[in-house]
Amino acid sequence: MSANVNVNLVESEAAFKALLAANTFVIADFYADWCGPCKAIAPLYAKLATENAVAGHLAFAKINVDNVPEVAKEYSVSAMPSFLFFSSGERASVNIAPRKPGATIESEDADAAAKNVQNLIKGADPRALSAAAARLGEIAKATAAAAAAEAAA
């Protein structure tokens, strides 16, 4: 696996807790070296991290279930790959429905009928993973821009 500065390789439970504490959102990829589908989706995950990671707002983590089993056990991960989402250190759900023309994050969040909410992606599902990363990336970039504007004011 090639190194990607936007993907955090988690090597301990403490490192994962620190990553959760340092970022508003985290997408965690629970994988195994022996897992074929994990290897197949790894390049897409790295690409999504490069496109969407925002320091302090959205981080991408890779957790090898064989090397850090306590984290996999804590979140009941039993299939690889599994992608979990976190917001403010807690498990979270992401609306992966395609955005309606002219809709904003706020209007879609208010429209419960339009939601296709996922709190976990089991398996190598490029469509769902791409949609979740794009949605969290959009929110993280907007949050970072708002924080920068507030700091400049």
Number of domains in the chain: 1
The predicted pLDDT at position 139 comes to 92
Yes or no: say if 105 and 146 are a contact pair by the CB < 8 Å rule.
no
User: For residue 80, how many C-alpha atoms fall within 13 Å in the half-sphere facing its CB?
Assistant: 21
The residues carrying an active-site annotation are 35, 38
> What is the reported pTM?
0.87
Tell me which residue of 40, 19, 38, 22 sits closest to 30, measured CA to CA. 38
Amino acid found at 22 = A
Cβ 148 vs Cβ 69: under 8 Å? no
Q: Is residue 2 part of a domain?
A: no
At 62, which CATH number? 3.40.30.10
Domain of residue 42, residue span: 7-152
- For CA atoms 69, 73, 79, 84, the dihedral sign is negative
- For position 1, what pLDDT does the model report? 43
* Tally of CB atoms within 10 A around 123: 14
pLDDT by residue for the chain (153 residues), tens only, comes to 446 789 999 999 999 999 999 999 999 999 999 999 999 999 999 999 999 999 999 999 999 999 999 999 999 999 999 999 999 999 998 887 765 655 555 545 545 545 678 888 999 999 999 999 999 999 999 999 998 898 887
For residue 153, the model assigns a pLDDT of: 79
User: Coil, strand or helix: which one is 58?
Assistant: strand
Asked whether residue 1 is assigned to any structural domain, the reply reads no
Residue 100: the pLDDT is 60
In a domain, 36, yes or no: yes
